Amino acid sequence: MKFGKVDKPDHIDFTLPPDHPDTAAVLQKHQQTKPLNIYVGCAKWNRQDLKKFYPRGTKDELAYYSSQFNSIELNATFYRMFDAKQIQNWKDKTPDDFKFFPKINQSISHMRRLINVEQLTEIYCDNIVHFEEKLGMVFLQLHNNFGYKNFDRLATFIGNFPKAVPLATEVRHQEWFGDAEIAKAYYQLLEQHQVSNILVDTAGRRDLLHMRLTTPTAFVRYVGANHPDSEYKRLDDWVDRLGKWVDLGLQNIYFFVHQNLEKESPTLSAYFIKKINERLGTQLKAPTVPAGTLF
């Protein structure tokens, strides 16, 4: 994941910013109405990307991955429109409690930029729903240059999106969060349609770490900087913040670990799971990490 990569991560202040003032209000509306759900995973299951994670002789990478994690942030669906048969095949390979969090295809978000995408969106959703009970939440990631001038386009897309399919959005243009009035309009749109606001923690774009929840779901895309001195402290800070949000009424934690170079994502995930279990008293299974890994 090259987005937000920097050459000198040791020069970055990784401190989590304070909560947006309206986050507590959103959470308190939903306090104690549903049990807490926690899903932690990587962005992909490819052996080539997750170095040394798979035991020698592993024949089915998804089957092994899903024996170690309870979820996957499925980036493959961004690059290809997979048919129902393939979706069903992936579903059948995974345990009953496993969840998929697929990204919306780039033909919708980047190529057509949400213009005249009704048919494509229908095709995408008609296939994705074959995950059935294993569908966690789909997410829309927009191009860096998709700014506020396209607000009506985004509002139409969200308004028309099937309500039966849970949705989260990630906007990247600086003005979505840099201008208070634009940010307010964006947050209100998401709240109105019960769409989750994705939080992106990456070194080069600290402005995306807005700490504004629009639903009782924290969908966090954490991007490690391949800088061991900072990674574990960053994860500790997330455990602390998520614990505070749970106390306020948070119902869902969706936490996906990336790296600029995917080497230690399983190890970082295992550390995060260990710490979140200690903080919340949960018993989420941690993946087996390569021998000799320390944290």
Cβ neighbours of 229 (radius 10 Å):
9
Domain range spanning residue 139?
9-280
What proportion of the chain, given as a percentage, has pLDDT over 70?
A: 96
Lowest-confidence region among 225-229, 238-242, 248-252: 225-229
Q: Residue 263: pLDDT band by 50, 70, 90 thresholds?
A: confident
Is residue 171, in this structure, part of any structural domain at all? yes
- Cβ-in-10-Å burial (0-12, 13-18, 19+) of 242 comes to buried
Tokens of 35: 């049990």
Q: Among candidates 165, 11, 147, which has minimal Cα distance to 77?
A: 165
Cα first-last separation, the chain = 23
Is residue 293, in this structure, part of any structural domain at all? no
Tokens of 71: 């979820």
Place of tokens 């924290």: 218
Q: Residue 241: pLDDT band by 50, 70, 90 thresholds?
A: very high
Name the more confident of 33 and 153: 153
Lowest-confidence region among 11-25, 83-97, 258-272: 258-272
Look at residue 189 in the predicted model and tell me its pLDDT: 98
Report the Cα 101 to chain-centroid distance in Å.
Answer: 8
pLDDT over 80 at 78, yes or no: yes
How far apart, in whole angstroms, are the C-alpha atoms of residue 218 and residue 121? 24
Look at residue 291 in the predicted model and tell me its pLDDT: 61
**CATH number of the domain that residue 34 is part of:** 3.20.20.410
Q: What is the pLDDT of residues 79-128, one digit of tens each?
A: 999 999 999 999 999 999 999 999 999 999 999 999 999 999 999 999 99
How far apart, in whole angstroms, are the C-alpha atoms of residue 293 and residue 118? 47
Q: Residue 179: pLDDT band by 50, 70, 90 thresholds?
A: very high
Is residue 3, in this structure, part of any structural domain at all? no
Is residue 81, in this structure, part of any structural domain at all? yes
Radius of gyration of the chain, Cα coordinates, nearest whole angstrom: 18
Q: Residue 295: pLDDT band by 50, 70, 90 thresholds?
A: very low
Look at residue 294 in the predicted model and tell me its pLDDT: 47
Is residue 33, in this structure, part of any structural domain at all? yes
Type of residue found at 3: F
User: Mean pLDDT highest for which of 27-36, 42-51, 115-124?
Assistant: 115-124
Name the domain count of the chain.
1
Give buried/exposed letters for 64-76 (b at 16+ CB in 10 A, else e).
Answer: bbbebbbbbbbbb
Q: What is the mean pLDDT of the chain?
A: 93
Is residue 288, in this structure, part of any structural domain at all? no
User: HEC states along the chain?
Assistant: CCCCCCCCHHHCCCCCCCCCCCHHHHHHCCCCCCCCEEEEEECCCCCCCCCCCCCCCCCCHHHHHHHHCCEEEECHHHHCCCCHHHHHHHHHCCCCCCEEEEECCHHHHHHCCCCCCHHHHHHHHHHHHHHHHHECCEEEECCCCCCHHHHHHHHHHHHHCCCCCCEEEECCCCHHHHCHHHHHHHHHHHHHHCCEECEEECCCCHHHCCCCCCCCEEEEEEEECCCHHHHHHHHHHHHHHHHHHHHHCCCEEEEEEEECCCCCHHHHHHHHHHHHHHHHCCCCCCCCCCCCCCC
Is residue 101, in this structure, part of any structural domain at all? yes
Is residue 114, in this structure, part of any structural domain at all? yes
Type of residue found at 154: L
pLDDT over 60 at 1, yes or no: no
Sign (positive/negative) of CA torsion 186, 236, 101, 74?
Answer: positive
Q: Helices 151-160 and 180-193: crossing angle, nearest 10°?
A: 10
